[in-house]
Amino acid sequence: MRRFAPHHMLVTRSLWHSAVFFRGRREMLKPLAMSSETPACAVEEVATHPQVSINESICNSLDNLLGETASQRAAVTRVGSLPSYYKPMNLRGVLYEGDVAQQLANAAELRGFRSPVWATNASYIRGGYTVLECEVGVEVSTSMFNVVLYNLQQTNSPEADSCVALASVKAMPLCATGRPFSRRLRLVLMSHPFYTRFKSQYWVTEEEAAALGTMVMTSERGRCVPVPCPPTVTEMSSSTSRDPRVEDSDTPPGESAVPLMLYNAEQLENPNAASSETCPRVECVNANGRRYSTLLTIHMRRYCQLHQLCTDPFATFVTCARLRSLGGDIVPGASVPLTLVVRDELLTLYHVDQTTISNTLFQHALSGQRKCMDRVSVIQV
């Protein structure tokens, strides 16, 4: 019996190599047979080929021998299928936030959707589209009642092509925090003649460029996109002035009465200072869940990177007075706090991980964000 052992090993190894070979042939043939874009003549040619059925039988037998099923291979194929830049949004280009965004992203990955657009059937009808029959949407809870959202690929829209939808997301103008601008700012940017000059997605003010460690090139000074103040900025400035640390509108706090002057990253002395590598998306909020301005977020992001503090799903910073009013204190041995200058005044902030009530502060901020999301009307959803 010992003299036949090498022969058995050779047979097993041959079977294994055959399994890999025929499985590769089957994976190459399967898309050709299943694709809706393949000409009928090509499908017939494959179907009538005498070796296809033989290969399928051999592969099925070898799959059973190796213990691998088709469902296991399909599960491996689905892993990582959702692009990293996928951000669910409504028909107006406004991004969904919080649990709603996560629920829609999970549904997109599960069902293989590539379009980031999700809206109600009524919203599609107003836009001239209709949801296709037998399509199942995603039920989302609101503070009023549950609504069902459908992906753009579930409609008769000609823009349902996934490549077109995702290209629009990748081309969306971004601020220095990695977040898309509001719809109002995007419309101003994209309608300006300067917008088509540049390929970079990132747009910053001179102050933000300085915070990123660079500056606008001398030859590009003044060649910016001015963003006028919204009509309600005068009314909001009084409330914003009471707390200059919080972003209360499209404009940064403390400068709500001054129009924004936005420069593209290509107009900077160091264009790489504003890029996907140097400006990863980070959201910094206060204890009420309200976002800090872009300028302050740049410093907060750098502080978190330096001290390895948590930024997922957002970074919460509070003042010492606010911390103690909530019954907390600074943990012993905490890093040096973040000290900023806002309106010529010093502002000292602590990350929640540096406090004794980090979980309480996180839940407080998360609750504030959910309340803000609940205020969005059903029509906008």
Verify that 204 and 273 share a domain, yes or no.
Answer: yes
- Which of 137, 153, 170 marks a domain boundary? 170
User: Over the chain, what is the mean pLDDT?
Assistant: 74
Is the pLDDT at 59 greater than 50? The verdict is no
Q: Is residue 93 part of a domain?
A: no
Q: Is residue 354 part of a domain?
A: yes
Verify that 162 and 198 share a domain, yes or no.
Answer: no
Report the pLDDT averaged over residues 202-209.
95
Verify that 237 and 270 share a domain, yes or no.
Answer: yes
Q: Are strands 147-151 and 138-140 parallel, antiparallel or unpaired?
A: antiparallel
Verify that 368 and 303 share a domain, yes or no.
Answer: yes
Verify that 166 and 178 share a domain, yes or no.
Answer: no
Verify that 336 and 372 share a domain, yes or no.
Answer: yes
Verify that 29 and 119 share a domain, yes or no.
Answer: no
Range in 41-55, 260-274, 293-307, 343-357 the model is least confident about: 41-55
pLDDT per position as a tens digit, 290-318: 999 999 999 999 999 999 999 988 999 99
Separation CA 195–CA 131 (nearest Å): 34
How many separate domains does the chain show?
4
Instruction: State how far the alpha carbon of 205 is from the alpha carbons of 50, 196, 228, in Å.
Output: 67, 18, 14
pLDDT per position as a tens digit, 2-39: 444 444 444 444 444 444 444 444 444 444 444 444 44
pLDDT per position as a tens digit, 220-233: 999 999 988 766 44
- Which of 108, 138, 170 marks a domain boundary? 170
| pLDDT score recorded for residue 145 | 85
- Which of 246, 278, 310 marks a domain boundary? 278
pTM of the model: 0.55
Q: Is residue 302 part of a domain?
A: yes
Verify that 144 and 181 share a domain, yes or no.
Answer: no
Range of the domain at 145: 98-170
Q: Is residue 84 part of a domain?
A: no
Q: Is residue 91 part of a domain?
A: no
Verify that 144 and 179 share a domain, yes or no.
Answer: no
Verify that 258 and 191 share a domain, yes or no.
Answer: yes
Is the pLDDT at 74 greater than 90? The verdict is no
Q: Is residue 114 part of a domain?
A: yes
Q: Is residue 60 part of a domain?
A: yes
* Dihedral angle sign, alpha carbons of residues 351, 352, 354, 355: positive
Instruction: State how far the alpha carbon of 24 is from the alpha carbons of 17, 21, 28, 64, 170, in Å.
Output: 11, 5, 6, 16, 33
